[in-house]
Amino acid sequence: MNKVFNRIESITGNVITVKAQDVRYNELAQITTRFGKSLAQVNKIDGDTVSLQVFAGGQGVSTGDEVRFLGHEMRVSFSEDLLGRIFNGSGEPRDKGPALTDNMKPIGGPSVNPTKRILANRMMRTNIPMIDMFNTLVVSQKLPIFSISGEPYNQLLARIALQAEADVIVLGGMGLKYDDFLYFKEELSNGGALSKTVMFIHTASDPTVECMMIPDMALAVAEQFALQDKDVLVLLTDMTNFADAMKEIAITQEQVPSNRGYPGDLYSQLASRYEKAVDFNDSGSVTVLAVTTMPGDDVTHPVPDNTGYITEGQYYLKGGRIEPFGSLSRLKQNVNSKTRKDHRILMDSMIRLYSSYKETLEKKNMGFSMNRWDEKLLKYGQLFENKLMDLSVNLTLEEALDLGWEILAECFEKDETGIKSDLTDEFWKVK
């Protein structure tokens, strides 16, 4: 039944062309080379010339290799059996478990009807004070973690995976270093979260085309879980590698690049993935946290720049900490009025005082003399950084708020904080 072709017309990079009829756009094919079998996807049809991108790459493909069209698009199996499993970008097992072929669902499906969404209004707790207290993560939010290479972003993701209040975690790794893959596996199994996790992993040594499949597979699975009333957290690392894979393929196919070599549809491509974040009316939700490394710490680089326009805020990871100034959760005001009545005012006041501390620090570094107020701010800044900002701090929101009051009481008098007196009367922690 399946059409088989034995003549490959051209091979350029990861893209091959064959002469074939009755082939559907985006259809999958299986190509058998001397190194084994690989999937390939149709990405252009011109008359009877069909271009396919080969998942395993063009290396070693011979003009005489066999191409078998499968008659369907890229799909992913969906069932509870996925939990605890690890797959690669072709959907094949990376662990020792069996391949899953039941209940195949298409990936990269249509977008959700906006009238079927509801306003994001539930907090997702992570027990990381810089997130819960200062830039609350909201169910169905899409947030990137902007970071430079070398920052502990994968450690942060692993912690969020372990601690976040989510029913299912889907981890998508793109261009992951093998060590990092092992790290995730170990952390999640040590933390006992493996049983609610599905991993789709592309490591740096795997073929580029597979990298492009990871977000779609991860999000398709997440969407299916969400439709079964689950709150799903999708963690993607690193979206810059995904964009670079797209760039590589686009250039191979001689597309006109728009900005620093990236294809003109970079925004739409990223958006169609991030927009999978959703809170379904009457069903579950998908929340997306995605690492975006900024080449050269440059936020105007096309990848972080386009991402910023798509997502609902961002976390800046800098110097091993989530930076309070650049970071922003645009949806936090939807939830932080409902947590505890001192949450908002404490959040604002502590950040305001921290910003004064930064100014004082600058003054100090320039050699100006410090007055009593400056000394207080310096002490406050130190405490704030060590007790709340440090990424190893692990506190519930309530504990973090209490600690916030403690730090304030340790450094200031009530009326120096600029907080309304009815709140200070209630919450002030005298030592």
d(CA 130, CA 124): 13
2 binds another protein (CB under 8 A): no
Nearer to another protein, 117 or 387 (CB): 117
- Decide if 176 contacts 199 (C-beta within 8 A): no
Binding segment for another protein (CB under 8 A), chosen from 21-29, 60-68, 181-189, 198-206, is 21-29
Binding of residue 114 to another protein (CB under 8 A): yes
* Burial (CB count within 10 angstroms: exposed 0-12, middle 13-18, buried 19+), residue 365: exposed
Residue 249 interacts with another protein (CB under 8 A): yes or no: no
Residue with tokens 């501390």: 357
- Could you tell me if 328 and 136 are in contact, meaning their C-beta atoms sit under 8 angstroms apart? no
251 binds another protein (CB under 8 A): no
Cα–Cα distances in angstroms (integers) from residue 70 to residues 4, 52, 64, 73, 133, in the given order: 9, 13, 19, 8, 50
Binders of another protein in range 280-299 (CB under 8 A): 280, 283, 299
Measured from the CB atom, is 119 or 430 closer to another protein?
Answer: 119
| Strand-pair category, 313-318 with 8-12 | unpaired
Binding-site member from 252, 255, 356, 396 for another protein (CB under 8 A)? 255
Q: Which phi and psi angles does 258 have, rounded to 5°? A: -105, -50
Amino acid, single-letter form, for residue 176: L
Closer to another protein at the Cβ: 168 or 277? 277
**C-alpha dihedral over 202, 193, 286, 87, to 10 degrees?**
30
Of residues 94, 276, 332, 343, which one binds another protein by CB under 8 A? 276
Total of chain residues touching another protein, rule CB under 8 A: 60
Strand stretches in 191-277, DSSP E: 197-203, 231-237, 257-259, 262-263
Q: How many CB atoms lie within 10 A of CB 336?
A: 21
Among residues 78 and 405, whose Cβ is nearest to another protein?
Answer: 78
Q: Which residues inside 175-204 make contact with another protein, applying CB under 8 A?
A: none
- Binding of another protein by 45 (CB under 8 A): yes
Q: In this structure, what are the phi and psi dihedrals at residue 401, rounded to the nearest 5 degrees?
A: -65, -45
Q: Report, in Å, the least distance between residue 420 CB and another protein.
A: 15
For β-strands 321-322 and 262-263, DSSP reports them as: unpaired
- Among the residue ranges 29-37, 60-68, 265-273, 383-391, the one whose residues contact another protein (CB under 8 A): 265-273
Q: Using CB under 8 A, which of 113, 195, 365, 392 touches another protein?
A: 113
- Residue 156 exposure: Cα atoms within 13 Å on the Cβ side: 29
d(Cα 101, Cα 177) in Å, to the nearest integer? Answer: 28
CB of 387 to another protein, least distance (A): 25
CB of 118: closest distance to another protein in angstroms? 7
Q: Is the dihedral of CA 420, 425, 427, 431 positive or negative?
A: positive
Q: How far is the CB of 96 from another protein (least distance, A)?
A: 33
For position 64 contacting another protein by CB under 8 A, the verdict is: no
> Any contact of residue 120 with another protein (CB under 8 A)?
yes
Choose which of 11, 118, 148, 393 interacts with another protein (CB under 8 A): 118
Tokens representing residue 339 in the block: 């947590």
**In the complex, what is the shortest distance from the CB of residue 252 to another protein, in angstroms, rounded to a whole number?**
14
Instruction: Please tell me whether residue 13 binds another protein under the rule CB under 8 A.
Output: no
| Tokens encoding 315 | 């976390």
What's the distance, CA 194 to chain centroid? Answer: 18
- Which is closer to another protein, CB of 176 or CB of 243? 243
Query: Should residue 10 be labelled a site residue for another protein when binding is judged by CB under 8 A?
Result: no
**Is position 265 an interface residue for another protein (rule: CB under 8 A)?**
yes
| CA terminus-to-terminus distance, the chain | 80
Q: Which of 70, 75, 183, 267 binds another protein (CB under 8 A)?
A: 267
Interface positions with another protein (CB under 8 A): 21-27, 44-48, 73, 108-120, 140, 227, 255-259, 263-265, 267-268, 271-272, 274-276, 278, 280, 283, 299-300, 302, 305-306, 308-310, 312-313, 325, 328, 330-331
